[in-house]
């Protein structure tokens, strides 16, 4: 299978996306078609042995649109200069058409009389000068419509352009010059405004890709910095980033210290301290100090570029609501066309007045245009996806957003998700007459030589308290148990409870205390001298500060079951679960066990969200209805595999995402309902002989703009 992406000139409405999906999907050898209105492109998967891209281009051009191949890896751009010129031409022609219409109306009223004009007199009563001006309005308004209508007629396809053209020609034929011109101008204006709103949404996506600077200050062989385009910078080269400048490419700091605003990636505006060895991302802002950064990724592979590309691609993944609307529209349009034909022929045979019922049939054709209905959902979804990306939440498709709005159960990994993922000292308990400082001194002296996470946590804690380590000799690491050494000539040791028993034998009081602490969760490290235990240190993986409030807010948002799935021991898991406020804890699970637990929850609740670190929990994330990966800024693998990626380690994004998803679904339902009600009202009016052409097009244009502007509200702040 081969994949190609075409740039589509003239695709401004989801009705056209549906048309492309049908036209290309019917071609032999094509297996998948993914049109993207906001990106004005269509991705096609096909078998090279059966079809060539040139044949697809010809099929697209038969619809009246034009296609050119595009690099499938290219990040989405904002509106191009050519598209901007096209939008200006649309606007100018719409304004010119409106001017002709107004002038024609005034002349008509002046010559023929206001009463006759408003009531729609016979064609012969319309003055010649007014007819000429009406024709001018029709030509200006139909400049972009007529070529598309011609393409539809040639293909025997009744799309919205054909419907409007037939309605206008029919109105002229029966002498309704005013209404024919009004329909054309209003339809042209509707298309121009809709293209503008689509362009605005597209600019919101393109803005993600251009947040990073287009030029970089590169240090060449002579260590002199020179400005070059970011595309010309190779991996391994070093770039200089001065105070107040944006970092141009993903890389790692070689020299310099600063604070960096990572809001474009993580949505977090609080600057993060950066020192040599720390990674930095393209598009983030260097607040203070001069940084020398070694480039690790090319411009097109930066995290920011991937996020922009994935957001754009996510729009092509249709949600259940979008699929329902598309299916409904495919039935609705031909049904209304048949009704229009019957309306134009049956009533005249019964009650006469052919002209009146032809007029009503033409009104029904106008309202048959499904664009307002079809665009109601995708524009809402893309606005929601862009808004989430700006908050540091990457949602890989509209369907996941819709699923998040209705999910009733969520599962969480423990380590690195509910907790910070790093053990910290929670308690130092001296025994046998020793003090806390003595216990820490011995532990520090030995553990400073170890790279074990528990050892590093103890060393960090002791140094924070100002404990000084005395030198040790004869250090020996005992694999899986602990370590021994000599301090001031005396043997000292640290290790597990099992190692302590080997070193000292049974100590009832010590064993009782250690068992008690272990039952409450955490790891116990014992510290001894010679043949007795001096004390023990309890280490725990600390709960994230926002965990408890996140769990509470998720429950308040309607999530019925909140469960921890972890491979850790039961005691530790239960302690963390109780502190978090979770409903249930399932511990000591292997990766395969987590998958089994997720499957059980799916069976019980219908859908389930799994939140994990994106690597160790990959099987469970993949099996869940929606998999959410934590803190994956800069991680290519997690970005590609997760359904939803939190660019920063911040669980508080989850309640926000839940509310955002519910708000999005509310907006989608409002848009669908509004479009259906307006169309239903006008169908009834037409069938009862009370519809008018200008009112039909005004209503269709009005509801189209209403649903688009309602959808664009999702780009603003979320409210509960």
How many other CB atoms are there within 10 angstroms of residue 271's CB atom?
A: 17
Compute φ and ψ for 672, nearest 5 degrees: -60, -45
Interatomic CA distance for residues 492 and 469, integer angstroms: 13
Number of Cβ atoms within 10 Å of the Cβ of 191: 24
CB 608, CB 594: distance < 8 Å: no
Element (H, E) at 84: helix 81-112
**What's the rounded Cα separation, in Å, for the pair 16 and 35?**
9
Helix 145-154 vs helix 128-142: crossing angle, to nearest 10: 70
541, 559 contact by CB (below 8 A): no
* C-alpha to C-alpha distance for 292 and 296, rounded to whole angstroms: 13
Query: Active site residue: 15, 250, 413, 700, which one?
Result: 413
* Size of the chain in residues: 720
C-beta neighbour count of 482 within 10 angstroms: 26
**DSSP letter at 300?**
G
Helix, strand and coil content of the chain, in percent to the nearest 5, comes to 55, 20, 30
312 contact partners, CB below 8 Å, separation of at least 6 = 36, 38, 39, 75, 76, 205
The DSSP H or E segment spanning 108 is helix 81-112
Q: Is 413 a catalytic residue?
A: yes
Paired with 3 in beta bridges are 45
CB hemisphere CA count around 657 (13 angstroms): 33
Assigned token pair, 166? 């037939």
What is the rounded CA–CA span in Å between residue 639 and residue 635? 6
- Side-chain half-sphere CA neighbours of 522 within 13 A: 23
CB atoms within 10 A of CB 229: 12
Distance CA 465, CA 460 (A): 9
Query: What tokens appear for 577 in the block?
Result: 């679960």
Instruction: Provide the 3-class DSSP secondary structure of residue 88.
Output: helix
User: What is the rounded CA–CA span in Å between residue 485 and residue 487?
Assistant: 7
Angular region, 489: left φ>0, alpha ψ -120 to 50, beta rest = left
Q: What is the DSSP string of 186-237?
A: HHHHHHHHHHHHHHHHHHHHHHHHTSS-SEEEEE-TTS-EEEEEGGGPPTT-
- Catalytic residue numbers read 413
């Amino acid at each position: 299978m081969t994949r190609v992406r075409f740039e589509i000139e003239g695709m401004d409405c989801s009705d056209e996306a549906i048309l492309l999906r049908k036209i290309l999907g019917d071609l032999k050898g094509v297996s998948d078609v993914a049109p993207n209105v906001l990106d004005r492109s269509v991705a096609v998967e096909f078998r090279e042995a059966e079809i060539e891209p040139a044949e697809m281009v010809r099929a697209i051009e038969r619809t009246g649109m034009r296609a050119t191949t595009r690099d499938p890896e290219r990040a989405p751009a904002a509106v191009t200069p050519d598209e901007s010129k096209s939008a200006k031409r649309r606007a100018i022609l719409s304004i010119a058409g409106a001017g002709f219409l107004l002038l024609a109306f005034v002349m008509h009223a002046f010559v023929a009389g206001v009463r006759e004009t408003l009531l729609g007199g016979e064609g012969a009563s319309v003055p010649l000068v007014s007819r000429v001006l009406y024709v001018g309005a029709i030509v200006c308004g139909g400049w972009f419509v007529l070529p598309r209508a011609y393409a539809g007629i040639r293909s025997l396809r009744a799309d919205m352009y054909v419907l409007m053209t037939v309605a206008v020609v029919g109105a002229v034929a029966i002498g309704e010059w005013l209404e024919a011109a009004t329909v054309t101008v209003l339809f042209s204006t509707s298309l121009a405004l809709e293209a503008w709103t689509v362009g605005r949404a597209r600019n919101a996506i393109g803005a993600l890709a251009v947040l990073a600077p287009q030029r970089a200050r590169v240090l060449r062989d002579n260590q002199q910095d020179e400005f070059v385009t970011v595309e010309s910078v190779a991996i391994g080269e070093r770039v200089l980033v001065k105070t107040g400048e944006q970092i141009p490419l993903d890389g790692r700091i070689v020299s310099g210290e600063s604070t960096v605003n990572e809001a474009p990636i993580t949505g977090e505006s609080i600057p993060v301290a950066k020192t040599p060895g720390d990674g930095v991302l393209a598009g983030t802002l260097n607040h203070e100090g001069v940084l020398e950064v070694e480039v690790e990724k090319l411009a097109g592979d930066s995290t920011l570029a991937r996020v922009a590309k994935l957001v754009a691609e996510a729009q092509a993944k249709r949600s259940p609501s979008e699929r329902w609307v598309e299916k409904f529209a495919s039935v609705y349009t031909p049904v209304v066309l048949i009704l229009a034909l019957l309306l134009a022929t049956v009533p005249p045979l019964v009650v006469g007045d052919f002209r009146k019922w032809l007029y009503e049939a033409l009104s029904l054709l106008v309202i048959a245009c499904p664009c307002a209905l079809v665009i109601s959902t995708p524009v809402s979804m893309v606005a929601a996806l862009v808004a989430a990306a700006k908050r540091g939440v990457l949602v890989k498709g509209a369907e996941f957003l819709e699923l998040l709005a209705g999910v009733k159960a969520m599962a969480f990994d423990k380590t690195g998700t509910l907790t910070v993922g790093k053990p910290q000292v929670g308690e130092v308990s001296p025994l046998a007459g020793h003090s806390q400082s003595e216990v820490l001194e011995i532990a520090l002296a030995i553990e400073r030589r170890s790279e074990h996470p528990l050892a590093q946590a103890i060393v960090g804690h002791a140094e924070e308290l100002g404990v000084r380590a005395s030198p040790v000799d004869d250090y020996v690491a005992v694999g899986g148990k602990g370590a021994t050494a000599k301090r001031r000539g005396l043997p000292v040791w640290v290790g597990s409870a099992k190692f302590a028993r080997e070193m000292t034998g049974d100590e009832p009081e010590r064993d009782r205390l250690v068992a008690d602490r272990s039952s409450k969760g955490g790891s116990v490290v014992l510290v001894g001298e010679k043949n007795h235990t001096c004390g023990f240190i309890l280490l725990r993986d600390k709960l994230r500060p926002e965990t408890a409030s996140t769990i509470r807010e998720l429950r308040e948002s309607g999530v019925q079951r909140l469960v921890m799935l972890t491979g850790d021991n039961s005691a530790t898991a239960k302690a963390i679960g109780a502190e978090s406020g979770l409903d249930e804890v399932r511990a000591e699970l292997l990766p395969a066990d987590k998958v089994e637990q997720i499957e059980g929850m799916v069976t019980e609740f219908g859908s389930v969200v799994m939140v994990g670190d994106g690597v160790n929990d990959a099987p469970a994330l993949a099996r869940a209805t929606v998999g959410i990966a934590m803190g994956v800024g800069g991680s290519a693998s997690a970005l590609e595999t997760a359904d939803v990626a939190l660019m920063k380690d911040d669980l508080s994004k989850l309640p926000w995402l839940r509310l955002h998803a519910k708000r999005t679904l509310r907006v989608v339902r409002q848009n669908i309902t509004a479009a259906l009600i307006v169309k239903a009202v006008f169908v009834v009016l037409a069938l009862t002989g009370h519809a008018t052409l200008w009112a039909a097009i005004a209503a269709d244009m009005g509801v189209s703009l209403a649903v688009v502007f309602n959808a664009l509200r999702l780009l603003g702040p979320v409210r509960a």
